[in-house]
Amino acid sequence: MNPARLLHELGDEIRVCTLCRLAQTRTYAVPGEGDASAKIMFVGEGPGQQEDESGRPFVGKSGQLLTRELGKIGVSREQIFITNIVKCRPPGNRVPLADEIEACNDYLMAQIALIDPKFIVPVGGPSLQTLVSKKLKITASRSKVFRKEGILFIPILHPSAALRAPGTMQMFLEDLQNLRDFLAREIEENEITDIESSLGITSENATQNAGSGANSHSQTGAAPSNSQASGEDDGGTLSLF
Ligand code: URA
């Protein structure tokens, strides 16, 4: 079966999913939408009210801002696939909980495997942390390029942050300009940020920490997590990565 068909069937499965508590409070699950053979995937945090009421991703205020600004850099919604780390709205738009992200993870990984994008744009911190590393901060990682399992990740600030804080709008717009530049040319090897070194992990202390179980990401200011700072993938629950 072709990827578009499989993606559609996956969407049908997501729409009736009851794997976590978010199923009890949602109106509609929001599987995601767009081109099944897109080169670029955008992955946000989770549906908000308008998304929950319509079953479509990024259609509320922040989604409209993202769509408008993407249009200005020559990227249309039809060209991309856009989804979220959790497919159902967390009540009151709270940040999704770890077990909710985990429950939805197989869906996201299956979408990525079917679409096989060249680029993934994590939109906001929770998406960056789910897809690239729990220890990365969006403020320090935005507009950088990371590589994991052959996919290039270019995180951007979440448009809802841009709408909340005027100073952040400029940073969000800068992220989109940088994204346009990255998409328009070949990305050189030396532009790709090594995930471990951006966490302050050297191969030497990674080995030590693997032995001691100590966390080694203090330079990021990130909260300690229970994953090993061993220099291995710390995507935690992710099966694809
Ligand atoms: N914010 C998100 O992260 N995702 C949406 O779909 C809408 C708003």
pLDDT one-digit tens code per residue, 175-222 = 999 999 999 999 999 999 989 877 765 555 544 444 333 323 222 222
Q: Which atom of ligand 1 is nearest to the CA of 59?
A: 7
**pLDDT tens figures, 27-83:** 999 999 999 999 999 999 999 999 999 999 999 999 999 999 999 999 999 999 999
Ligand 1 proximity of 47 Cβ (cutoff 6 Å):
yes
CA distance 241 to 239: 6
Whole-model pTM: value is 0.85
- Ligand 1 center from residue 190 Cα (angstroms): 32
- Pocket-testing residue among 22, 33, 53, 62, ligand 1, by greatest number of atoms within 8 A of Cβ: 62
Ligand 1 proximity of 45 Cβ (cutoff 6 Å):
yes
Ligand 1 proximity of 96 Cβ (cutoff 6 Å):
no
Strand partners, 218: none
Ligand 1 proximity of 52 Cβ (cutoff 6 Å):
no
